Structure 1
Amino acid sequence: MAKPNYFYGIHAIDALLEHRPLDALSLFVQQGRESDSHVAAIMVSAQDNGVSIQPTQKDKLTQLCGSPQHQGVVLHARPLAFADEAVLDTVIAQESCLLLVLDQITDAHNFGACLRTAVAMGVDAVVCPKHHAASLTPTVAKVSVGAAEMMPIISVTNLARMLAQIKSAGVFVFGTA
């Protein structure tokens, strides 16, 4: 059986409940934090989507998510999945599109920071390889401050082939290292 996914942090959980509420299973809220306006809003959203809410001690939240940075809320949810390669065709068919292509980003914190920046810059989709890349973990969701939920993150088998495909579709490609 797969290890349960516990998402944590106010913004990451808020984005998850907004963009894929059916994947939320149960919300754990730190006792005494119910009056915090951000936590209260998350609780209302969870209730509206039929997610069970369980008051929990701070130490138990830290244990569930493996981090003390939970901000008083932890959500047990299905994992975020990479978008299918076919989504790329839809994105590049737009009149103008902005893609962020990442290669060999293996650290969850760096991946989350890239996603956060991509949303701030108006990126339409992020593309990364299937191998030698970070997974979409709850840590990525936390560091991205919910950005992982806001745009497609496409995992491709062959980056070189994908770059040739988008070039042939008329997308200007610019690279840095």
Structure 2
Amino acid sequence: MTEHDQEHDESQEWIAGKHPVMEAIRSGREINKLWIAEQAQKNAAPIVAEAKKAGIIVQFADKRKLDQMVGGVNHQGVVAQAAAYRYYEIDEILEDARKNGEMPFLLLLDEIEDPHNLGSILRTAECTGVHGVIIPKRRSASLTATVSKISAGAVEYVPVARITNMAQTIDKLKEAGIWIAGADVGASQDMFVSKTSFDMPLAIVIGNESKGIGRLIKEKCDFLIKLPMNGRLNSLNASVAAGVLMYEVVRQRQSR
């Protein structure tokens, strides 16, 4: 198998960057091999030490070889080849929340296509204790080297479920006692976040960067919420809006 073929092998994933690779090693992720750019040996010494402790093969190569492996991702002289990211089942995510005695808190991403947005959302989700992020299999960014890099390694700790049908998934979550809140700029004035209680088993739907939440998905939400807009623009970047909403849930739950 050539290196080009390896890059498109669905059983393998590339992890790029010092922080994402270190978090992957620490999380116990199955890593097949680690490449260090010869120019970055000194700065990557802690990663090499961690890798050798975990029994991971370390190879030194020219930076240009690493560039080819991850195609444009800023790898900082560190690239790992790992087993493909594991996607979780929704039942697993809910069970983990209940085992910890916590009210489930999920994010449903309705066709978030920009990997930078997905990476940023996962990073904030890890910081705010979100139990899981749910993405569709089609028309959506998936877990890649770019997403891992932007998430600063959070992709190793936040369970991600990949589903075929978002509407059916919402029905399943409702049956499990989860309330569905849709983030929508068209939400009524009296549903500003500051007036909405999130002290419940909750899943927040974040819509596509340009189109927002799809009509069918919006109709399936139990209620719609929006953030106050005092400027001339009427919308926030998807990952920023998601971040504000996640921290509002944290604020309310901590005050309880």
TM-score range, shorter chain: 0.7 to 0.9
Q: Report the counterpart of residue 67 of structure 2 in structure 1.
A: 62
Pairing partner for 1:113 from 107, 120, 132: 120
More RCO (CA 8 Å, sep 6+): 1
1:168 aligns to 2:171 (yes or no)? no
Give SS of 1:29's match: strand
* Unaligned runs of at least 5 residues, structure 2: 8-12, 185-256
Which of the residues 16, 19, 25 maps onto 1:17?
Answer: 25
Q: Distance in 2 between matches of 1:115 and 1:145?
A: 9
The alignment status of 1:76 with 2:84, answered yes or no, reads no
- Point out where structure 1 has 5 or more consecutive residues left out of the alignment: none
Q: 1:8 aligns with which of 2, 13, 16?
A: 16
TM-score of the two chains, using structure 2 as the length reference: 0.62
Deviation of the 1:91 alpha carbon: 4.2
> After the TM superposition, which of the residue ranges 39-48 and 79-88 deviates more from structure 2?
79-88
Q: Which amino acid aligns with 2:46?
A: A
Which string of whole-angstrom CA distances, capped at 9 and with x for unpartnered residues, describes residues 64-97 of structure 1?
2112511110111122121124324414645312
Give, in whole Å, the separation in 2 of the partners of 1:147 and 1:138.
12
Q: 2:133 aligns to what? A: 126
Q: Output the CA distance in 2 between the equivalents of 1:141 and 1:128.
A: 15
Distance 1:91 1:161, change over 3 A: farther
- Report the Cα distance in structure 2 between the residues aligned to 1:68 and 1:158, rounded to whole angstroms: 31
State the alpha-carbon separation in 1 of the partners of residues 174 and 89 from structure 2.
19
Using structure 1 for the length normalisation, give the TM-score: 0.87
Cα distance between partner residues in 2 of 1:68 and 1:124: 28
Contact 1:82 1:136 in 2 (8 A): no
